[in-house]
A and B are shown apart, each in its own frame.
Chain A
Amino acid sequence: MIDIKNISKWYGSFQVLTDCTTTINKGDVVVVCGPSGSGKSTLIKTVNALEPIQQGDIVVDGTSITDKKTNLPKLRSRVGMVFQHFELFPHLSITDNLTLAQIKVLGRTKDESLKRGLKMLDRVGLSAHKDKFPGQLSGGQQQRVAIARALSMDPIVMLFDEPTSALDPEMVGEVLDVMVGLAHEGMTMMCVTHEMGFAKRVSNKVIFMDAGKIVEDCSSADFFGKPEERSPRAKDFLSKILQH
């Protein structure tokens, strides 16, 4: 469903991504991990072309993001994205946050989008908050609304960019619960996260990055189950995060 083919990206003369290649199939739950500054967030943002790439190509559901003829807004409307800092629209109510893009981008009617939005809000367990504004919710609640907003668009794949990194520890669980539920329903997901418990239990594939390169690209069973087969850098990373 997502083909990342030999992509490279530079900020000025600094290379952030070097020749990254991987494939994500329908129904995959892929966890992207690695030390800070390794290019994980940049990689996930290239998938819906929020970050442009200078070399290589990415094909999402048959559509190349580097093709000049590609309608990027249309492509993005089919790819859900959840951000580290939630990025709900603070000037709009929760309901408007859920319906805005459905109406303006997908051309759905008000009723239709409201119905769909509230269904997704119910799914993340926040129906009672539909008339509030984002600033009135906790971080965990905002992130769940952000997931509901993305799901309202009926995406074919969901991208999560460190969805729990900005949360208080006690709110991490509620967001991960929603993500686990999605994974069990067969949603194709790509998640940049440090939550190794989630990676171990839910993902079927792990991509480990370091210094802008994909160092490991294997099944999560192998990644966590056969540490002796891992590269030295991944071993080092795993030993540091798993010892506690």
Chain B
Amino acid sequence: MALNLDFSFLTSDVIKANLVSTFEYSVQLTAVAAVAGTLLGTLIALMRLSSQPALQRFARVYVDLLRSVPLVMVILWFFLLIPSGFYSTIAGSFGDAHRPELAAVITFTFFEAAYYSEIMRAGIQSVPRGQVFAGYAVGMTYAQCMRLVVLPQAFRNMLPVLLTQTVVLFQDTSLVYAIGASDWLKGFQTVGNLFNRPAEMYLLAAAGYFVISFSLSMLVRRLQAKIQIIR
């Protein structure tokens, strides 16, 4: 089988027009979903570990539900369920023009929160109970004890896992093709269609995602050795 690969059509103008801003969007989507997802996930983890049955139940249903539905479905359903007026309300005409892109940010934040919450839950449980006692014993409230004593340690213990999850998230952002958001993969696709060279472009896309994800994974591995708390 001859693929007859030909990359001659790929000029810097073509790259600039299709692969730069789309790449920026994919990175932004990953970054926002990672940060907001971790914050929301931490909140859900705290609910899950709280002594209030109602909060526990809510957190469990939230996590189980989102982790049991394929991501593409979640992306589609969020897009279909968010009323179109919502985008212009939060971001004016910009919001109206970028509905799929904004929907993706919202979806990924809520979706990833389910995964991050399980990581943070493990992190919180990895902090010895004596630390909580020590926090309370010096007069901290529950909130202070969590914020100043437990969560910093939980976060540090789990940082490698959180970052690994974020690498997975970066790869998963390519699924926003389902709602037609202009992400990096869409950029490759557009060029491929434009010059009728889909094989070349999908090959490049795969290489691009691989290089970035693999180097990030390597960085995480290095970081892991560095940040261990000495006990």
Binding site for B on A (CB under 8 A): 45, 48, 50, 73-74, 76-81, 83, 85, 87-91, 100-101, 104-106, 133-136, 149-150, 153
- Asked if B225 is an interface residue, CB under 8 A from chain A, the answer is no
| Complex Cα–Cα for A81 and B128 (A) | 17
Q: Is the interface of B mostly helix, strand, loop or mixed?
A: helix
A135 and B141 within 8 A (CB):
no
Q: 8 shortest A-B CB distances, which residue pairs?
A: A77-B139, A135-B230, A87-B134, A101-B138, A81-B137, A105-B139, A87-B130, A76-B139
Report which of B133, B144, B152 forms a contact with A91, defined as CB distance below 8 A. Answer: B152
B149 and A135 within 8 A (CB):
no
B153 and A83 within 8 A (CB):
no
- Asked if B81 is an interface residue, CB under 8 A from chain A, the answer is no
Interface residues on B, range: 20 to 34
- CB-defined contacts of A133 to chain B, threshold 8 Å: 230
- CB-defined contacts of A48 to chain B, threshold 8 Å: 136-137
- CB-defined contacts of B140 to chain A, threshold 8 Å: 73, 101, 104-105
| Complex Cα–Cα for A90 and B218 (A) | 27
- CB-defined contacts of B152 to chain A, threshold 8 Å: 91
- CB-defined contacts of A50 to chain B, threshold 8 Å: 133, 136-137
- Asked if B156 is an interface residue, CB under 8 A from chain A, the answer is yes
| Complex Cα–Cα for A83 and B141 (A) | 19
B231 and A76 within 8 A (CB):
no
| Complex Cα–Cα for A91 and B149 (A) | 8
User: In this complex, what residue of A is CB-closest to B228?
Assistant: A135
B148 and A104 within 8 A (CB):
yes
- CB-defined contacts of B229 to chain A, threshold 8 Å: 90-91, 135
- Asked if B131 is an interface residue, CB under 8 A from chain A, the answer is yes
| Complex Cα–Cα for A85 and B231 (A) | 11
B141 and A136 within 8 A (CB):
no
Report which of A45, A74, A89, A136 forms a contact with B149, defined as CB distance below 8 A. Answer: A89
B137 and A76 within 8 A (CB):
yes
Instruction: Knowing A50-B133, A85-B130 are in contact, say whether A150-B139 is a contact too (CB < 8 A).
Output: no
B139 and A135 within 8 A (CB):
no
